[in-house]
Amino acid sequence: MKKYAVLGIFCLVLLSIAVAGYTQQGGFTGPQAFGQHQAGFTGQQGFGGQQGFTGQLMRVTVAQVAQTFPDKSKAIIRGTIVQQISNDRYLFRDSSGDILIKIKNDRWWGLSVGPNDQLELGGELKRERNGMIKYFDAKSIRLAR
């Protein structure tokens, strides 16, 4: 019986931590193509200390990614989010062009940004089977310095 009581308390603690994590606001605050944006997950921001790719990433332009990078290539792009297209899709722009990016709500880490904020996105290029660009999947996001 003690086992079930301890397990129940443990589950309640985990649930309360998960619910508390969704209380901070975060995400894109600029133009939206479909309506209100959902709040992002709270946590630490930046490229270091997160799970995922730990090797060397190249900082490149949107045009370089679009023209030369194969599917699943990892890179860092720098620019601004111009518009929200759907719940997790955004139009991203740098001086060389535009690309569709995907940022899951749990990747915002409580960071709120607008269309005038310069960002660095670390992530992976996704292409269709025919080679067309699907989107740039942002795994980490931070304000550019």
pLDDT digits (tens, 9 = 90+) for 66-93: 899 999 999 999 999 999 999 999 999 9
Owning domain of residue 84: 2-143
Strands 89-94 and 97-102: antiparallel
Residues in the chain: 145
**Is the separation of the CB atoms in 77 and 111 below 8 Å?**
no
For the chain, percent of residues with pLDDT exceeding 90: 47
Q: pLDDT band at 17, cuts 50/70/90?
A: low
Number of Cβ atoms within 10 Å of the Cβ of 79: 21
Count up the domains in the chain and report the number.
Answer: 1
Determine the pLDDT at residue 110: 87
Determine the pLDDT at residue 31: 63
pLDDT higher than 80, residue 13: no
Higher pLDDT, 124 or 13: 124
CATH of the domain at 20: 2.40.50.200
For the chain, percent of residues with pLDDT exceeding 70: 63
Please state, in angstroms and rounded to a whole number, the distance separating the CA atoms of residues 21 and 23.
6
What's the whole-model pTM score? Answer: 0.65
Please state, in angstroms and rounded to a whole number, the distance separating the CA atoms of residues 8 and 111.
33
Beta strands in the chain (DSSP E): 27-28, 58-60, 74-84, 89-94, 97-102, 112-113, 119-127, 133-143
Q: Helices (DSSP H) in 22-128: which residue ranges?
A: 62-68
pLDDT higher than 60, residue 57: yes
